[in-house]
Amino acid sequence: MPFFSLHQAQQCFFLYSPKPLSKFPRARTLFFLCSKMSSNSNSLQNYPTPLSPPLPSISKDIELARAMSASSKSSLFGLSRSDILYEDEWLIAVNKPQGIYCDTILASVPRFLSDSAPSDRLCEGNQASTLELHLANRLDRDTSGVMVITKSHKVASVLVKAFTNHKVQKTYVAFCIGSAPKSERITIKSGHGRSKFGAWRVYAAGDVGRKLPGGSIVRDMETTFEVLSINGQQNYKEQSECVKDEEHSIVVEEKAITDVDANKDEILVRAFPRSGRTHQIRLHCQYLGFPIRGDVKYEGVYEWKGRTYDAHELHAESLTFQHPITGFPLLIQAPLPLWASQALQLLTD
């Protein structure tokens, strides 16, 4: 039953008059307004319910400070040869640093190409200034790793289509703090969308396709996680040794149950996102009970073992796709950041 305030109930008083509504013009208007309010209330009740928690109150100020710091760093940033992972006449792949915006990377490419161009190319009229540069993929501000930039509209169209059709294989590495999963490989399928307050949230898989406040719809998202280590111990098999029967699948239909009193473990995971939704890996880590360290927006710890973390620890490790022009398979890998290489080093010591 729709809820009405006392003020709204007083306005609806005329609906109960024994006299015909035609003698009360204002009553006819109020009847229309009350019907509209009832209709709006019912439509609100029909919106899907987000299943992941809202943004923590602590995240607002921390995220603002991080954004200001990133803006300052981005204003001074310039690409160097060491940032380039791959380049040909159609593509350039960059290892994006943590805390730098994607648009800053894109804006710095023309200058880098001009500065690094051979003298004969410069004599031809500075090819860099005529390129049609596009971001083929985007990374969050604090996510590091592989970013691909295309050099023409045609190449951009082909590569964007490949991303859309899930023809690009992606791997990420994340350092998480939370309850260690019991399975060595987990595949989670859920819905994804913005709540009425604009935050990205996890929705039930059964809500995919349903309308959300603001007019958007719930879209599907799927991620497979491989647990690399728990508390510095390699308890699980290598990826090549894992068999399908050992993979645990989760289809999200209800809110996750998190034990706040459970011990917190240090968990290094590799993620294989099939879709490419905004904050997908971060949301799925939160839902599974092991949010990424430093990811205050999605309940990740801000302080851990006496240290404060200024960013979340998520790295876009690799992209594999068919070259949009040559058709040959192309694997682009980014070196691991210090936090990831140190965690992996513990497994070999």
The catalytic residues are: 140
Q: Which of these, 252, 227, 250, lies nearest to 343 by C-alpha position?
A: 227
Considering only CA atoms, which of 319, 280, 281, 279 is closest in space to residue 159? 319
Cα separation of 313 and 117, whole Å?
Answer: 34
Asked whether 204 and 253 are in contact (CB, 8 A), the reply is yes
CA distance 51 to 251: 12
Measured in whole angstroms, the distance separating CA 234 from the mean position of its chain's CA atoms is: 27
Q: Give the pair of three-digit tokens for residue 281.
A: 């890996």
Which residue bears the tokens 């590569």? 159
Q: Could you give the 3-state DSSP secondary structure of residue 33? A: helix
The alpha carbon of residue 281 and the mean position of all alpha carbons in its chain are separated, in whole angstroms, by: 6
Q: Which of 277, 283, 287, 278 is nearest to 295 (CA)?
A: 283
Q: Which two tokens stand for residue 146?
A: 């592989």
Backbone dihedral angles phi then psi of residue 27, each to the nearest 5 degrees:
-65, -40
Q: Structure tokens of 42?
A: 């019912």
Nearest to 95 by CA among 79, 76, 110: 79
**Is beta strand 84-87 parallel, antiparallel or unpaired with respect to 91-96?**
antiparallel
CA angle, residues 313, 222, 67, in degrees to nearest 5 = 35
Q: How many other CB atoms sit within 10 Å of the CB of residue 342?
A: 11
DSSP state of 75: H
